[in-house]
Amino acid sequence: MSFKQFGFKSQITNNINNCGYEHPTPIQEEAIPKVMAGKDLLGLAQTGTGKTAAFALPIIQQLIDAPRGKIRALVVAPTRELAEQINQSFIELAKGTGLRTVAIYGGVGKKPQLDAFQRGVDIIIACPGRLLDHLNNHGLKLDKVDTLVLDEADQMFDMGFFPDIRRILKHLPRKRQTLLFSATMPADIRKLADETLTNPEEIRIKLEQPLDLISQALYPVSKRQKSALLLHILKKEPTEGSTLVFTRTKYGAKNLAKKLIKAGFSASALQGNMSQNQRQNALNGFRDGTFSILVATDIAARGIDVSLVAQVVNFDLPSTAEAYTHRIGRTGRAKRSGRAISFICFDDKAMVKAIERLQGKSIKRINVDGFAMAEESEETPKQTRRPARPQHKSKKKLGQRRSSGQQQKRSATKGKAKAKTKTKTNPNKSSSGNIFGLGQK
């Protein structure tokens, strides 16, 4: 199958050739004719399948002869990196057409974005928070939008963006074409799809590269030995090409990158507390090989296409089996073989089962001398694990001492309160101060 069948205008065909795309990917084959026919679309597909071009190409074809300077297409994406990446694809695929695009996200100044609106723009690729800000405070209008794309809808849900998305929808014409892409389809995404799509065509595309190209291994280890094990593996079994390491928390990513740098590796962190510039530098440095190791959280790394990743390390396992597949899919791209290694702790047993069930096979375990999984849960609150201290005489009367049950309850409530504050943080907002620019050139 070739791109010819779609009947794209010659400028678009030139741009496709210049991008080096020879044949449409499966999602492009399925989606492009449907989008060109004006249908709404529900696409179950991940990054790496070619889904950006699957919606960008028909949008460009549709707009190529339309009057310029009014926002006719809006793409909403969860992270700044993804918005920037989608924008780059639009720029390349719309070269020479005169169509203007702009990426809109927080963490950077508003002025260049406002200037772009002033000059006139045809396609916006936006993260929800900053887009709403422009709608509410700067008179941005979306009443001429013909096509709306909601990309990585499940990720937007996880990041708490659905209320913002519903607010954005109120600014759009009711009569429009809507395309919704998501890597997974839990009930909340299905509900949003029902609310926003009209008689959608559904397509399901699996990540193209077979998992067989990726050699997977699980390394049993205790939590506190993980960093040492990673250093051991990186030294003993160096890979040609770059390594993408996933941690569960931003703090973990920052800390681990520091340790790797200290041990002499060229590494950088990529996490939400870094400024947009720092994040972009980390990514560029990873892409051009300045950093051979990037330590990232899922949210920071999601949607990023880094085609030359030779090795993925799950320093911490993700919270779903699908996310594991998505993570390791970063390697083994374009029919290259890749390696995915995961550190597994006592408390990961259920997740390992779920991952193996999803793949329909067991993954080999590698035991490294000097490293072993803990023999009991490492999740238990510290005070219950610590051996009881000898009872010293206390000034407090017996009745005043908190029972350990009360203490646990209290620390659980504290934890909840902390978690609550955390979820309130808008990932699109820049973090003022406290910005750590990790990375060693």
| Contact of 89 with 124, CB cutoff 8 Å | no
CB of 62 to ligand AMP, least distance (A): 18
CB of 282 to ligand AMP, least distance (A): 19
Q: Which is nearer to ligand AMP, 43 or 439 (CB)?
A: 43
399: buried, middle or exposed (CB in 10 Å: 19+, 13-18, 0-12)?
Answer: exposed
Q: What ranges in 19-161 are assigned the alpha helix state H?
A: 26-36, 51-63, 80-93, 111-119, 128-137, 153-158
Q: Which is nearer to ligand AMP, 49 or 325 (CB)?
A: 49
Rg of the chain over Cα atoms, rounded to whole angstroms, equals 24
Which of 1, 7, 29, 145 lies closest to 76, judged by CA? 145
| Contact of 105 with 126, CB cutoff 8 Å | yes
CB of 317 to ligand AMP, least distance (A): 24
CB of 158 to ligand AMP, least distance (A): 19
CA torsion 130-136-138-144 (nearest 10°) is: 90
**Full strand arrangement of the beta sheet holding 101-104:** 101-104, 123-126, 73-76, 147-150, 177-182, 41-44, 201-204
What's the length of the chain? 441
Angle at 406 between CA 405 and CA 410, to 5 degrees: 120
Strands annotated E in 298-372: 309-314, 338-344, 364-365
CB of 321 to ligand AMP, least distance (A): 21
Q: Which is nearer to ligand AMP, 48 or 106 (CB)?
A: 48
Q: Which is nearer to ligand AMP, 86 or 321 (CB)?
A: 86
CB of 439 to ligand AMP, least distance (A): 23
In this structure, what token pair is assigned to residue 146? Answer: 């013909």
Which of 428, 352, 437 lies closest to 168, judged by CA? 428
| Contact of 231 with 260, CB cutoff 8 Å | yes
CB of 303 to ligand AMP, least distance (A): 7
CB of 197 to ligand AMP, least distance (A): 20
Contact positions vs ligand AMP (CB under 6 A): 21, 24-25, 28, 47-53, 305, 307
Q: Which is nearer to ligand AMP, 63 or 207 (CB)?
A: 207
| Contact of 42 with 17, CB cutoff 8 Å | no
CB of 412 to ligand AMP, least distance (A): 40
| Contact of 87 with 151, CB cutoff 8 Å | no
Q: Which is nearer to ligand AMP, 32 or 218 (CB)?
A: 32
Q: Which is nearer to ligand AMP, 322 or 378 (CB)?
A: 322
- Burial of 144-166, coded b for 16+ CB within 10 Å and e otherwise, reads bbbbbbbbbbbbbbbbebbebbe
Q: Which is nearer to ligand AMP, 83 or 352 (CB)?
A: 83
Q: Which is nearer to ligand AMP, 108 or 308 (CB)?
A: 308
CB of 1 to ligand AMP, least distance (A): 10
Q: Which is nearer to ligand AMP, 50 or 427 (CB)?
A: 50
246: buried, middle or exposed (CB in 10 Å: 19+, 13-18, 0-12)?
Answer: buried
